[in-house]
């Protein structure tokens, strides 16, 4: 009997949220879709967060992923950018958690390393490797969608390995793994 699993990969962002979906059948990866949610035209940050949540729910309800892999925000010098990225990631995670889908976070370097063998690879190198591995005919203009796809492929490659990124199976697991980070009022 064939074993099947669908993995949704998300590259969260407040300007563009990239996502990619793969189907795994008998340990073989198959490309399903990649795309992006364009948020540039919206000025209100709360509208952007609402749209990220709604699009993630729509993807879940359409493709029924078994697992979600999400790129963790990288640590930069701009605190405001980090806060915005963290909110975007949190909203996408909340959408998955609301549907009881296990979520695993991966640092950008870990994703790049899994795809190209080089943790400092460029977005273009990651995209080209995905094009080769998944036999994609063309690449998108914006590479945020390939970043989302890369998170899904990284998750596939890391399956069964002991050291994964942070993983949550629901709100209860999230709260247990993050004591002191949840404001109890």
List the catalytic residues.
Answer: 11, 71, 144
Distance CA 162, CA 21 (A): 23
* Neighbouring-strand partners of residue 155: none
Contacts of 82 (CB under 8 A, 6+ apart): 73, 75, 76
Closest CA to 12 of 74, 80, 78: 74
Backbone angles phi, psi at 36, to 5 degrees: -145, 155
Provide the annotated binding site: 11, 71, 144
**What's the length of the chain?**
185
Q: Which residues are annotated as a binding site for Mg(2+)?
A: 11, 71, 144
């Amino acid at each position: 009997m064939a074993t099947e699993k669908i993995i949704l990969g998300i590259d969260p962002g407040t300007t563009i949220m990239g996502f990619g979906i793969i189907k795994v059948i008998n340990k073989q990866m198959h490309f399903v879709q990649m795309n992006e949610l364009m948020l540039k035209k919206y000025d209100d940050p709360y509208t952007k967060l609402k749209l990220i949540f709604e699009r993630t729910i729509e993807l879940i309800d359409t493709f029924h992923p078994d697992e979600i892999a999400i790129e963790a925000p990288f640590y930069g010098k701009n605190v405001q950018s980090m806060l915005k990225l963290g909110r975007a990631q949190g909203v996408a995670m909340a959408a998955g958690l609301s549907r009881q889908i296990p979520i695993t976070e991966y640092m950008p370097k870990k994703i790049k390393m899994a795809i190209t063998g080089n943790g400092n690879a460029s977005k273009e190198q990651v995209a080209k490797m995905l094009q080769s591995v998944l036999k994609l005919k063309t690449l998108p203009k914006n590479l945020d969608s390939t970043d989302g796809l890369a998170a899904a492929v990284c998750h596939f490659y890391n399956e069964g390995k002991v050291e994964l990124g942070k993983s949550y199976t629901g709100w209860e697991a999230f709260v247990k793994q993050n004591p002191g980070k949840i404001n109890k009022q």
